[in-house]
Amino acid sequence: MNVKTQNLIPGCILAEDVYKRSNTPLLRKKTVLTEEHLRMLVVFLIERVKVEPILVNGEVFKPGEGISLELEEKESDLKQDIPEKEDTFIDYYLRAVQQFKRLFNDWKGGVKVDAFAVRNVFLPLYEQSPTKSDLMQLHHYSTKQDYIYFHSVAVSVFSALLGKRLGLKNGEVIQLGIAGLLADCGMAKLPFNAFERKSTLTSEQYEEVKKHPIIGYRMLEDTQGLTKNALVGILQHHEREDGSGYPLKEKGSKLHKYAKVIAIADVFHAMTSERYYRSKQSPYKVIDSLKVDQFGKLDHSLLNHLIQMTVDLSIGRKVRLNNGMIGEVLYQNYQHPTRPILKLIDEGEILLDLLKHPEIVIEEELLDFHREEEINV
């Protein structure tokens, strides 16, 4: 959807990178526009940008005259011939976030958790089949203001998909996905909003936050529709293999499979997502970090499942690196899947073995790659 800058609103999602006389994008594709972004577009005299037809809150974007006249005429002429757009996985995800937000705010107000209502949020997502690309882009949609809601739904998605990979039965996968969705429900009962802080928590606040798995367990223990496995998964999702987690410092064989799965999903999405006090990170960089920094803390067989579920750097794929260069995958490194050998585009025949250059990481896969000079504004 090609829209005039003056008709954009906060919550619009960029469908393409935005350039202004530079090979480096002014704003990246999938950026959720804020008031600050809108001011930036005006300052840089960007007249039009392409955005997704749906806002980050799941609602359809209706820009009015913002749609280009050419597109408007085509839509008018071909209206009878164009089939109605099917909802994508991302559409379902964004709707689920808004539904979960309403439930979470009800819990803040003292309403008891209704497992049936929670199940209705999760099941439409359970019925979807997201691509690897969908999963690797999920963090882009998370906003600082509504992080907890995006995070909870994303954890649910990753947990359920990991459960499927482990061969769990459908009923178990559903319970695991719902447990992932409710893992942070105890946050609704904290005496302060941990996610609205624009700086890191104080030690006293962090101790309060560490109580949320127990609070969540107590909120849910008498709720019909949740299995004991789901409850234990919620209680233990911040425990670690070496006993360094919380709230009970359980470790190893005492940790339930559901808890180990939710822990992987929780850490992965949290580290990739933007927060008030931390910028979002490349999923490829986060995977590298988890393999090293979380060694002995997370179940690495499950981490390998997550990598296989998300990373697709097959030969010929185009990627953008953190130094701004574009590369094409020439050789896959199966031992280190985020570290292939690349041919650098527009750099002659230069090859780059990412395994030998730990300071260089993949920022994103380029699904619709064009040479920069062809798309500069």
CA angle 358, 360, 366 (to 5 degrees): 135
In the structure encoding, which two tokens stand for residue 29, read together? Answer: 């594709």
In the prediction, which pLDDT does 80 show?
Answer: 47
B/e letters for 218-244, b = 16+ CB within 10 Å, e = fewer, are ebbeebeebbebbbbbbbbbbbbbeee
pTM of this structure: 0.85
Question: Cα 173 vs. chain centroid, distance in angstroms?
Answer: 20
DSSP 275: B
In the prediction, which pLDDT does 262 show?
Answer: 98
Cα gap 142→125, rounded to integer Å:
17
Q: What is the DSSP string of 108-169?
A: HTTPPP-HHHHHHHHHHHHT----HHHHHHGGGG--STTHHHHHHHHHHHHHHHHHHHTT--
In the prediction, which pLDDT does 294 show?
Answer: 86
Cα gap 370→326, rounded to integer Å:
10
In the structure encoding, which two tokens stand for residue 67, read together? Answer: 């749609």
The strand pair at 48-50 and 351-353 is best described as unpaired
Cα gap 16→367, rounded to integer Å:
11
The dihedral region occupied by 346, where left means phi > 0, alpha psi between -120 and 50, and beta the remainder, is left
In the prediction, which pLDDT does 250 show?
Answer: 95
DSSP 347: B
In the prediction, which pLDDT does 64 show?
Answer: 66
| 377 residues of the chain, pLDDT tens digit each | 899 998 999 989 998 889 877 777 888 888 889 888 898 888 888 889 999 988 988 888 888 644 444 444 444 444 444 455 688 999 999 999 999 999 999 999 999 999 999 999 999 999 999 999 999 999 999 988 899 999 999 999 999 999 999 999 999 999 999 999 999 999 999 988 777 776 778 899 899 999 999 999 999 999 999 999 999 999 999 999 999 999 999 998 899 999 999 999 999 999 999 888 788 899 999 999 999 888 889 999 999 999 999 999 999 999 999 998 999 999 999 899 999 999 998 777 799 999 999 999 999 998 765 444 332 22
Identify the CA nearest to 107 among candidates 182, 179, 181, 189.
189
In the prediction, which pLDDT does 66 show?
Answer: 40
